Amino acid sequence: MGAHLLADLLEDALPQTQCTKCGYPDCRGYAEAMAEAGQKPNRCPPGGIEGIIRLSKILQLKTESTTLSIDPECGAERPRPVALIDPKACIGCTLCIQACPVDAIVGASKQMHTVLNDWCTGCDLCVAPCPVDCISMVNVTENHTGWEAWSSKEAELARKRYHAHSTRLKREERDQILRVANKARSKLEELDSDLAQSETDRAEIERKRQIIAAALARAKTQTI
């Protein structure tokens, strides 16, 4: 089986919380590391022991009870929590929104923020950036942990929301580059119509022209 197909199968078996606890930027990154670089299947706390068994089967690795434990470097298997924001303490800074990989937090600048429980994967990523420490993680699955606390349906929803989030970020980045490029283009036109007479002015204008033209060329390659 090719490494790409293997990574697809492994990714399908991951919980899709996109929590980064495995040490990779997302579930896909971890799936690729297992498929292509021999990374071990015990680095995903949200999947827990059941997750190690599922991944090991796909990787055709034997699972012995002695090897069945989550790498402590990545955290521990636990009941699934959701984030809860204390409305009295929230200052509306939006840092939690920027950190959430599945866009599960709503709220505008300087307004109180709220977590949409159905979309929260319990990834913890919004907790650390909060400057007033008003986000707590609340257990919603009692003593159920790993895949006992998370369904394939929830994983699929989380994956879709993460893809929508990534597409939105790319679109916003592209729009920002285009805005800057448009400003640079106007500046270039301004310089072109400048009637500077002295040799020094002309040299300075040419220098600026070259800088702006190079920036525009870069913007073009980034938005293709």
Residues that bind ligand SF4 (CB under 6 A): 14-15, 17-22, 24, 26-27, 30, 44-47, 83, 85, 90-96, 99-100, 102, 104-105, 113, 115, 120-126, 129-130, 132, 134-135
* For ligand SF4, the closer CB: 47 or 181: 47
- Backbone region of residue 43 per phi and psi (left: phi > 0; alpha: psi in -120 to 50; beta: other values): alpha
3 state DSSP class of 169: helix
* For ligand SF4, the closer CB: 73 or 192: 73
Cβ proximity of 138 and 84 under 8 Å: yes
CB of 13 to ligand SF4, least distance (A): 9
* For ligand SF4, the closer CB: 26 or 181: 26
d(CA 78, CA 72): 12
CB of 176 to ligand SF4, least distance (A): 22
**Which has the closest alpha carbon to 145: 81, 55, 74, 66?**
81
* For ligand SF4, the closer CB: 166 or 186: 166
CB of 89 to ligand SF4, least distance (A): 7
Within 8 A by CB and 6+ apart from 24, the residues are: 30, 33
